A = this chain, B = another copy of it.
Amino acid sequence: MKAEELLLKHKLRKTGNRLAVLSLFAGHSKAFSHSEIQAKMGSNMDRVTLYRILDAFEKCGILHKIPDDEVSVKYALCDHDHSVEHHHSDDHAHFKCHECGDTICLEDYEIPSLKSPHGFRVDEKFLLLGGVCDQCQ
């Protein structure tokens, strides 16, 4: 989906900062941490503004939040077409390479649905695989 319509759809105003963040994600199909994005943006964008943009994008479903075992979280573009309610539930796995450090979406790898433990309600799942990617073999 085009950046501009993405913002329009979610009632977010079209600003230079937001377009810059979106075009970063559009260019590379991988996940970025706050500090990685910050570095790419240079000193153009305030640190706090970036926190707010990532929060807003995650909340409305533009970005995925990916738990990380070292950095606190990373973000990746949500490519599929689904409602915001489903944004946090029906998800795919992610892979993190311990050589290059990249985290990528495994769009094709839907997280297997295992039955909830007795008495628990599951409405969110994160599957993070770690290893070595094809590039780094």
Q: Give chain B residues whose Cβ lies under 8 Å from the Cβ of A133.
A: 119-120
* Count of this chain's copies in the oligomeric assembly: 2
A8–B54 alpha-carbon span in the complex (Å):
46
Total interface residues on A, CB under 8 Å, equals 38
Q: Give chain B residues whose Cβ lies under 8 Å from the Cβ of A70.
A: 72-73
Q: Give chain B residues whose Cβ lies under 8 Å from the Cβ of A131.
A: 116, 120-124
Q: Give chain B residues whose Cβ lies under 8 Å from the Cβ of A27.
A: none
Give the shortest distance, in Å, between A92 (CB) and chain B (any CB): 11
| Contact present for B114 and A112 (CB under 8 Å) | yes
A residues near B (Cβ < 8 Å) are 65, 67-73, 88, 93, 95, 98, 106, 108-109, 111-112, 114, 116-134, 137
